[in-house]
Structure 1
Amino acid sequence: MIHPRSSDKCEDGYVFLAPKGPSVKDRGPMILDSAGNLVWMSNQYLMSMDLNVQTYKGKQYLTFWTGRQAGTAGAGEYKMLNESYHVVKTLRPVGDNLHGDLHEFKITDQGTALITIYNKTRLDMRELGRSERAWVTDCLFQEIDVETNKLIFQWRASDHYSTAETRESNPLAGYISSMPFDFFHINSVDKDSQGNYLISSRHMHTLTYIDGQTGSIIWILGGTRNMFEDISGGLAIDFSWQHDAKWVSREAGIISMFDNRQAGVFHTSGPFSRGLLLQVDEQNRTAKLLQQYVSLQHTLSPSQGSMQVLPETGNVFIGWGHSASYSEFSRDGTLLCETHFGASWLNWWGRAVSYRAFKSKNWTGKPLTNPSIAIDSGRLSVSWNGATRVRGWQLEGQGPEDNEFRAIDVLVKESFEETFILANQERFARYRVAALDENLQVFQYSDEVENVVASGVAGLIFDIVVATPA
């Protein structure tokens, strides 16, 4: 991890990522602390994306999508893990031949889940020079009940948008089944207190506000059918190829989003990607830019990305998607902290990416495993994957003739793995390590490990005794 910018004004909390790419050895969901140290990771799933901590029925869960990625879409399912990192719920779309897409998995206050679906079908694309039955990727979203997995609401892009409205221009797509034309590309869904939905379409350059009862379009921001006057001189509706549009304040009409401004070298509409805070006046149909957020290196990210307004300070946390970094800003746009988890000069090639990045204090990990320890060359290393309560480690040793362990040394936990230097090893036959909580009280022990050096010394003494003449 590289921290080119840091500040004590950044919020404490855990960072939730799902790194992938050719340079990522162990892909999968990952939690880091605010300093960038590993807290938890797992490689037991297929491709994983969109790791977050969400609330369901008053409890915190780790949530993410896992499955197979096909191009820029996914076919998989959605996982909910409890504080012990065990899967307690797996959600899937409702309907035959529908697969969970990677772009959105949001749990609502009503105990429902919002998910996205990419579905290959045929549509009339003669306006774009294709056939009457061209192959396309249609986009859906569903709201499903988490407990029962029953469908509550479904919306389909092709019922409301024409392929001719797209900003995508892939000249080879649409002719054969294996290369459908992705005319809409839904990548976020949010639901407000009025029961309506806000969705982002990357390939339409639009945010669409949808009636939660009828599915009809209430308004469109951006794109060909933009319904708003931009009172910021064009700065509010010039977003493009964007991701992760969410309500920050429904009452004030404030929306956050990640504005990529690029989808490859042939689809570039700005010099750098940015986070945006917009405000819409629905009655007067006006939109204005409140603030934009730009990375230290003016990153231009051709895909992925997320933006989050942190609840405690109002700071803005941005994951730069295709670029291996995340940043935290004050509300006024001042860059406070930035962390790179991959080489910046390789960003263009996507060697290490994370679809989204989130930050939250609301996670307590209580793994059912014990701390792991290992001895090597006079050192004993200890770690405990996923445990968040550990503030220190206490090394304990037991002599060859002893019945009890006794404390030898204590280390403050500062990183994922800490290492004790073993002294006077010949005095101990075995070791263990105790995890200490915030009050420096023991709350868990590792398994015991034999002291190899002590065993070797005992063996040497035995050999000498046997070899001595009577």
Structure 2
Amino acid sequence: MHRGRPRPIAAVACLGLLLTSCSSGEEETSAAAASPGPALAFVSRPDLVAPDLGIDARGPARAPRSLVFLGPKSEGAPLTGVLIVDDAGEPVWIQPTDGRAYDVRVQELRGEPVLTWWRGESPVVGLGAGEFVLVDESYAEIGTVTTGGDLDPGQADFHEGRLTADGTMLLTAYVKREHDLGPVGGPEDGWVWDGVLQEVDVATGEVVFEWSALDHVPLEQTRSELPDDGGTEEEPFDWFHVNSVAEDADGSLLVSARNTWAVYDLDRATGAVEWTLGGEASDFDLGAEFAWQHDAERQADGTLTLFDNQSEPDIGPTSRGLRLALDEQAMTATVVTEYLPPDPDRLAGSQGSFQQLPDGTVFIGWGSRPFYSEFAADGTLLTDVALGAGDNYRAERAPWTGAPSSPPDAVLADGAVHVSWNGATEVASWRLVSGDDEESAVAGDPVRRTGFETAIPVDGDPAYVTVEALDADGRVLGSTVPSD
């Protein structure tokens, strides 16, 4: 094996700036096929816009339990950034970002909830170089996590940024290396993207564990074909394509590699591959083949779940969520449940996620297809939600209490106060306080919050008007004076 010094991903440029000429297998919505999706606009926040979600509810109505976290992006998406919505599809927090946001989710750090997402650059389609952002419940940035050790800072890929109970984060990185491509019909002096995993201490930035796919997985296990002009320093061969890392129940690590169609169980001390599920060298007899998969995790009941893309190129008729029972004595993997979309040909050529919720339901993000869905434990579809345009890397449902430090926003227009509070989750109603002046102003009846923005009629032309945000118990959370 010949390996040279790692080259940072940011040093690679696509010739002619044609992203499709340097595809790594994570294709995204093309500009030619995209059209602007339906969008919501707001009087109180004319600087913000959000997708107008289409909700197809199949199951019985349920009480709201949590929020949905998204990172809409790509051509046609009304918003590029971080988006939190409620069960009705109404925005809760809209955060435009300069670049695309990936892997938006709620996690826990040192016993406190944090919201995390990736930011950075994607000089090659399907790969990223950047860092993970951590914000608290006021949406204040409290830290960032990125690569370290032998890798330059700022090389964290967008596929995974998972916090652990030990105060570390599991990161992935794509590192360009020289490598013999003879086993896949290429030159001996070829180049590949190595799939690298790092576990980084959040507080210190110290790398406490590092793993390289090239050191542990034979190149010939790839299911990707070496392009005629690939495998060069300018266009390295993306043979592995790591896209998720999660802790297994015994403390080992589960690594999903899209381009080998496999999930690997890693010894956390040595990095040795304990077993391989799927692909050319599976240690398990499979009850069903998965392909180009994402987001492999072990669940509390012992099953292993993943998002089975089955596409890019197409293998099966549709993408799906998949739950497998692993017998590590008999070395068999059998299908327990599959989670199918309402349309029979929803093939996601990239991205996608599978989340097991505490109440037994399953939450699926469809990646490059702009949808997310919720299923009963037995695979029955409960809700299917359309983003309208663009795509979304992962979708997650989680509890979250947002308390922004900035005040609400309000605008007086057309005989009403239009009020919103971006990111505030505890507002149940709004109340106008009006009169000739502040001393004589009288509070009106509370008006139920109707969504991201609520319009409150104003009687007459009072000289003084302020609007208060109230929680479910009637306590004042914040207030603001409307602008004209």
Q: Does the alignment reach a TM-score above 0.5?
A: yes
Range 172-181 or range 80-89, more displaced? 172-181
Please show how residues 316-395 of structure 1 align to structure 2 within 5 Å: 316-342=362-388, 351-361=389-399, 363-395=400-432
1:286 partner amino acid: T
**Separation (CA, whole Å) in 2 of partners of 1:289 and 1:90:** 39
Is the CA contact 1:10–1:337 (under 8 Å) kept in the aligned structure 2? no
Separation in 1 of the partners of 2:330 and 2:438? Answer: 81
Relative distance call for 1:120 and 1:402 in structure 2 (3 A) is closer
- Could you tell me which residue of structure 2 aligns to residue 242 of structure 1? 293
Q: Which has the larger radius of gyration?
A: 1
* Partner Cα distance (2:440, 2:407) in 1: 19
The letter of the residue matching 1:359 is R
The percent of aligned pairs where both chains have the same amino acid is 37
Equivalences for 1:454-465 in 2 at 5 Å?
none
Q: Matched residue of 2:446: which SS?
A: strand
What is the aligned partner in structure 1 of residue 282 from structure 2? 226
For 1:437 and 1:420, how far apart are their aligned partners in 2? 17
- 1:456 is aligned to none
How far has the Cα of 1:34 moved from its partner? 1.4
Pick aligned residue for 1:5 from 57, 67, 71: 57
Letter in 2 for 1:244: D
**Partners of 1:406 and 1:170 in 2: CA distance:** 73
Task: Return the match for 2:151 from 96, 99, 102.
Answer: 96
Opposite residue 275 of structure 2, the aligned amino acid is W
* Helix, strand or coil at the partner of 1:158: helix
One-letter amino acid matched to 1:23: G
Q: Give the equivalent residue in structure 1 for 2:455.
A: 419
Identify unmatched segments of 5+ residues in structure 2: 1-52
Aligned residue number for residue 80 of structure 2:
27
Verify: 1:445 aligned to 2:479, yes or no.
yes
Post-superposition CA distance 1:76-103 (Å, at most 9, x none): 1011100010110111111333600000
Deviation at 1:289? 0.6
Tell me: CA distance 1:49–1:402, structure 2 relative to 1, closer, same or farther (3 Å).
Answer: closer
CA contact (8 A) 2:374 2:381 kept: yes
1:234-313 residue pairs with structure 2 within 5 A? 234-235=287-288, 238-249=289-300, 252-263=301-312, 267-298=313-344, 299-311=346-358, 313=359
For 1:437 and 1:40, locate their aligned partners in 2 and report how far apart those are by CA, in whole Å: 17
Q: Secondary structure at the match of 2:283?
A: coil
Q: CA deviation at 1:177?
A: 2.3
| Residue aligned with 1:203, SS | helix
Matches within 5 A, 1:47-126: 47-69=100-122, 70-94=124-148, 95-97=150-152, 99-126=155-182
Partner of 1:164, secondary structure, is: helix
Helix, strand or coil: the match of 2:367?
coil
Shift of 1:42: 1.1
Bigger shift: residues 92-101 or 108-117: 92-101
Q: Distance in 1 between matches of 2:63 and 2:197?
A: 34
Q: 1:6: how far off?
A: 4.2
How many residue pairs match? The answer is 427
- The answer for the alignment partner of 1:211 in structure 2 is 267
Q: Is the Cα contact below 8 Å between 2:130 and 2:157 reproduced in 1? A: yes
Alpha carbons 1:123, 1:135 under 8 Å: kept: yes
Q: Please give the root-mean-square deviation of Cα atoms over the aligned residues, in Å.
A: 1.6
Q: Which amino acid aligns with 1:329?
A: F
Q: Which amino acid aligns with 1:96?
A: L
Q: Quick one: which amino acid aligns to residue 57 of structure 2?
A: R
**Matches of 1:11 and 1:329, distance apart in 2:** 15
Relative contact order: is structure 1 or structure 2 higher (C-alpha 8 Å, sep ≥ 6)? 2
Q: Distance in 2 between matches of 1:177 and 1:243?
A: 27
User: Any idea what the Cα deviations from partners look like across 1:217-266, whole Å, max 9, x if unmatched?
Assistant: 10001111111123xxx32xx000000001112xx531110000001xxx
Q: CA deviation at 1:195?
A: 2.2
Q: Which runs of 5+ in 1 are unaligned?
A: 343-350, 453-470
Shift of 1:173: 4.9
Alpha-carbon contact 2:438-2:464 (below 8 Å) kept: no
2:233 maps to which residue?
Answer: 177
Residue 144 (structure 1) aligns with: 200
* Aligned residue type for 1:419: A
The residue type paired with residue 52 of structure 1 is R
Deviations 1:367-421 (CA, angstroms, capped at 9, x unpaired): 000010011222210000000010000012131x552432234321121000112
1:38 aligned to 2:38? no
The answer (yes or no) to whether the contact 1:39–1:387 under 8 Å persists in 2 is: yes
For residue 73 of structure 2, what is the amino acid of its counterpart? Answer: K
Amino acid at match of 1:19: P
Specify the SS of the correspondent of 1:380.
strand
Secondary structure in 2 aligned to 1:449?
A: coil
Deviation for aligned residue 1:41: 1.7
Q: Distance in 2 between matches of 1:208 and 1:10?
A: 38
Question: Residue 240 of structure 1 aligns to which amino acid in structure 2?
Answer: A
SS in 2 for 1:100: coil
